[in-house]
Amino acid sequence: MRTTRTHDGNGTVAFAATRRAVGALAALAMVILLFSAHVDAAPWASHGPTGGHGMAVAIDPTNAATMYAGTNGGGFFKSTDGGASWSAINAGVDPSVYHVGAIALDPATPSRVYAAVSSGVNGGIYRSTNGGASWSLQSLGNLDDVAVSPSSPSTLYAVGNRVYKSTNGGTTWTQILSGSTYSSVAVHPSNPNVVYIGTIFGAVSKSTDGGATWTYAGTGLPSDHVDALVFHPTNPSILYAGVQDYGVYETFDGGMT
């Protein structure tokens, strides 16, 4: 992988002290470059919500005005007006949840919302089937990321101290890997069996058989938290990795270099 943008080391990123926020900002910057290069630059403006450090955001793919946010210490929020206003949506969420690592939506049924959380009592995947009106917990231990297969939304992967997989829309989960601290996951846009996972040690692994076996795919990455993995929207042989304190890396051959 090669570096495409580096961190300046001067603390100018808003949540530089929070590793998941660094990865999220890196991924967001990459998406902006990919999708909005043709749009005139405009200054950033705060759109909330307030109530905790902003850690995760997801936008309804069928209605861009509907947005979800996860925080450290404030739980979940939802906006239906493009971020102009937000409402807390924490029915069924344990107050001990202190970290929302990621939010993912089912692309076919966006009212299905998944969130990877850490908790002082019981972390795992919070799932909502009604657009965040209520939540239920699948207890898997503290988790950092969750991804829904774009081509097969009933297939999901979640990572934390272990790697888990669901093939029934998050109703049940199976542990498919252990032995490290995993920090990010991405599923191939058109093949639910091709999945990449990143660790806090700078390693990336790839599976082409739905997590049954894994090969190393992190050549060239620094030894630091791989906090975000994102596929190029039209060319899935290109993968981007957001690495804490180092910026965004890209690979053009599926992680071989």
Rounded Cα distance, 78 and 130, in Å: 12
Residue 106 has which token pair? 């089912």
The string of pLDDT tens digits covering residues 9-18 is 333 333 333 4
CA distances from 249 to 15, 21, 38, 218, 220 (A): 19, 17, 22, 10, 9
Prediction pTM value: 0.83
Q: Which of 136, 214, 142, 145 is nearest to 184 (CA)?
A: 145
Q: Hunting for tokens 């209520």 — which residue is that?
A: 134
The CA angle 130-49-229, to the nearest 5 degrees, is 75
Instruction: Note the pLDDT of residue 257.
Output: 78
Instruction: Note the pLDDT of residue 35.
Output: 41
Instruction: Note the pLDDT of residue 9.
Output: 38
Rounded Cα distance, 193 and 56, in Å: 25
The letter for the amino acid at 104 is: A
Give 32's contacts (C-beta < 8 A, 6+ positions apart).
none
CATH 2.130.10.10 fits domain 2-36+48-251: yes
Q: Which of 197, 189, 257 is nearest to 227 (CA)?
A: 197
Kindly give the parts of the chain with pLDDT less than 50.
3-39
